[in-house]
Homo-oligomer: A and B are copies of this chain.
């Protein structure tokens, strides 16, 4: 994989690897469409103003400008490549609001670019696969449930092994902090989010120093982040921790929302989700449900699918468009699965049948045979010259093409399965390969 040496951080796949990636993308699309999500694409560039609006100044953005810049163009807006699909989608929704039907379910599978320092598994160009539901003014909470279920099913459909959606809720966390008397929720979140980096003692120190917490409040905030259940029993644990608190309305709302997501995931995609109250999703724009996803055995990949609810990602005057969405980092996931040979394609070409040439003047007749196969949806390719049959078979073998077609001087046809060596008479008008050989198959070693 990744022979591309001339620019680091930019992954390019070989044909057999691309077949694996295409299979992943096709599968995602199929699941998204089966659940009623419509495809859109946004342009690759946004104005710098749009990109930086959301406070994402820490993202390494790639600026785009015309090399042959001329006088007239200095008035053009400064542009940059998009670094995710959420900001462009928000802009698309606002610009096209008059032509969209809300609630609007969309999926978007596109490349994004980030000028980060290249390192293993981090790319400067990568594909994301997003689904979102966006409403006009209001969006029922059950959309959070739906998004989580659809993504869990999409990941199941990929058959890439065990994964776990780790679900939390911002209202729950903020409501809990409020309930125990911590009013600067952002400061608390910032501190708790550093748990892995600075440890429990460090978090307690920061909570007391920067969030105005007492030792007891700090311990409770820490204890909250330690709660993890695979059913809705987390609620009881949270209520125990907040015992005696009065202002628990927001917390209870968060508890109810999280319980609904977890219960539905348990019912519809069993074994795929936990309530994990440590999940914070940094300081992003989320306002309710937040989700990260780990792939078992590949924890160092980080979250392979993340997102959540945002009450006002987009707005147009007084009109706001609340949404909920999840995003799969396809390239990081696929490159890991390909690199470790956990997903491999049975061949490097779509071709199922290679039509051999007995003599160079038979090329037209050989194309007729190939056309008869193609007309029935069988991918076929004709040899370019009448080399020795051994060489022609080697051509097919090198690409993993399973069948080679021979026609003798009397016009009798035979087809050879070059894996088993079996050869049998065949009619171009009726012969069909076994279903599993029609298109490349993906082998899973997960």
Contact = CB atoms under 8 A, between A and B. Distances in A.
B64 A81 contact: yes
A43 interface: yes
Interface string A9-41: 011111100110010000000000111111111
B37 A350 contact: yes
Interface in A137-179: 139-140, 142-143, 146
Interface in A27-70: 33-48, 50, 60-68
A40 to B, nearest CB: 6
Contacts of A91: 6
B60 A67 contact: yes
B42 A12 contact: yes
B68 A39 contact: no
Contact of A62 (B5, B65, B92): B65
Contacts of A378: 34
Tell me whether chain A's interface is mostly helix, strand or loop, or mixed: mixed
A44 B111 contact: yes
Given A41-B18, A63-B66, A47 B7 contact: yes
B349 A38 contact: yes
A39 B380 CA distance: 15
A213 B140 CA distance: 78
A22 B26 CA distance: 12
Nearest to A123: B43
Contacts of A348: 38, 101
Contacts of A364: 264, 267
B77 A67 contact: no
Nearest to A78: B67
Interface string A75-119: 001011100000000011001101111010110000101010000
B12 A92 contact: yes
A186 interface: no
A271 interface: no
A21 to B, nearest CB: 8
Contacts of A66: 60-63, 115
A36 B381 contact: yes
25 contacts: A3-B95, A5-B95, A6-B50, A7-B45, A7-B77, A14-B40, A15-B38, A18-B39, A18-B41, A33-B350, A34-B377, A34-B380, A35-B379, A36-B349, A43-B125, A48-B67, A60-B66, A62-B65, A67-B80, A101-B398, A105-B381, A139-B384, A140-B384, A267-B364, A268-B371
Interface of A: 3-7, 10-15, 18-19, 22, 33-48, 50, 60-68, 77, 79-81, 91-92, 95-96, 98-101, 103, 105-106, 111, 113, 115, 125, 139-140, 142-143, 146, 264, 267-268, 348-351, 363-364, 367, 371, 374, 377-382, 384-385, 395, 398-399
Given A7-B47, A35-B381, A60-B68, 6 more contacts: A33-B379, A36-B349, A36-B351, A45-B125, A62-B67, A64-B81
CB-CB nearest 10 A-B residue pairs: A36-B381, A66-B115, A33-B350, A36-B351, A10-B43, A15-B38, A61-B67, A140-B384, A38-B349, A3-B96
